[in-house]
Amino acid sequence: MTAQIINGKQIVAEYRDNIRREVEALTAAGTRPGLAVVIVGEDPASQIYVNNKAKACEQVGIYSEVHRLPEATTQDELVALIESLNRNAAVHGILVQSPLPGHINEEEVVDAIMPDKDVDCFHPVNVGNLAIGKPGMLPCTPAGVIEVLKYIGADIAGKHAVVVGRSNIVGKPMALLLLREHATVTICHSRTPDLAAVTRQADILVAAVGRANLIRAEHVKPGAVVIDVGMNRPEGGKLCGDVDFEAVKEVAGAITPVPGTVGPMTITMLLRNTLHAARRAAGAQAAVGG
């Protein structure tokens, strides 16, 4: 039996429809949600992603502004821009597209973003709140994966979820969100001696490494839900994930295609974070009678 191919188009359309309605209501009440995206340099993949983010904002009625800075931008100039966006009342979310040029200290840049406007959930304050289970900003890609699992009706509580990859932007926060949903969670990485022996135990397998075809049929338990977070562009080839889709779809119970699901859901969660940030800002303003 072949796996259920998870239809990202349908999930994304439903979520964005709900967000669009909520944005409309908040705008009518006097606060139009706004997102500022900052991109430094000319990385071609980043240009595509940033354009997709701006288009998605437009689709749901969120105000957006894209700040395109030259490769030679200094640390001080970038931090000064972030500080001005922190003070800008029309901007509720700030996203600084990574990767940044080598001469920029990325950590210092993230620290400069006001935590309330950190719609990536990269700031240490938001990461800490996530780790201790306080409500707040959720990281976009991991939150999107949880929404996909819920949408297809996958059980998470008590299931064994295996995350392959330990990055700060996907692997680690993914494990925290699965834990919050009461999964038993294992994280694998490049030093895991027998990857397949661990991944074969997974009821839910999340691949977030950035290596094409890392996960093959022998890595997957029959019937498992396989979520592919990889975004690989082999030279001259087309975009593909970390999972050998054709082979794994014959074993898995459900699988996400790349492109099509996790990428657009990531952007959808960015829209949701921006909406929530705007709603909190509007509430805070009402509380001081502003």
Ligand X SMILES: Nc1nc(=O)c2c([nH]1)NC[C@@H]1CN(c3ccc(C(=O)N[C@@H](CCC(=O)O)C(=O)O)cc3)C=[N+]21
Q: Does residue 69 contact residue 39 with C-beta atoms inside 8 Å?
A: yes
Q: Does residue 244 contact residue 215 with C-beta atoms inside 8 Å?
A: yes
- Of 238-257, which residues contact ligand X (CB under 6 A)? 239
Decide: is 33 part of the binding site for ligand X (CB under 6 A). Answer: no
The set of catalytic residues is 53, 97, 120
Give min distance, CB of 158 to ligand X, in A.
30
Give the three-class secondary structure for 73.
coil
Tell me the binding residues for NADP(+).
165-167
Q: Using CB atoms, what's the residue nearest to ligand X? A: 263
Rounded to whole angstroms, what are the CA distances from 20 to 3, 46, 240, 262, 279? 32, 25, 30, 20, 14
Q: Which of 13, 25, 29, 48 binds ligand X (CB under 6 A)?
A: 48
**Of 78-86, 101-109, 195-203, 260-268, which part binds ligand X (CB under 6 A)?**
260-268
Decide: is 93 part of the binding site for ligand X (CB under 6 A). Answer: no
**Between 129 and 232, whose beta carbon lies closer to ligand X?**
232
Decide: is 49 part of the binding site for ligand X (CB under 6 A). Answer: yes
Decide: is 140 part of the binding site for ligand X (CB under 6 A). Answer: yes
Rounded to whole angstroms, what are the CA distances from 159 to 131, 156, 170, 219, 254? 20, 5, 20, 17, 15
Decide: is 264 part of the binding site for ligand X (CB under 6 A). Answer: yes
Q: Residue 67: beta bridge partners? A: 38
**Between 9 and 182, whose beta carbon lies closer to ligand X?**
9
| Sequence-separated (6 or more) residues with CB below 8 Å from residue 29 | 282
Determine the size of the site formed for ligand X (CB under 6 A). 18
Q: Does residue 161 contact residue 146 with C-beta atoms inside 8 Å?
A: no
Give min distance, CB of 224 to ligand X, in A.
21
Decide: is 259 part of the binding site for ligand X (CB under 6 A). Answer: yes
Q: Which of 266, 268, 273, 274 binds ligand X (CB under 6 A)?
A: 266
Give min distance, CB of 240 to ligand X, in A.
10
**Between 140 and 162, whose beta carbon lies closer to ligand X?**
140
Decide: is 59 part of the binding site for ligand X (CB under 6 A). Answer: no
At residue 1, what is the residue type?
M
| Sequence-separated (6 or more) residues with CB below 8 Å from residue 182 | 156, 157, 158
Decide: is 110 part of the binding site for ligand X (CB under 6 A). Answer: no
Provide DSSP, 76-111: HHHHHHHHHHHH-TT--EEEEPSSPPTTS-HHHHHH
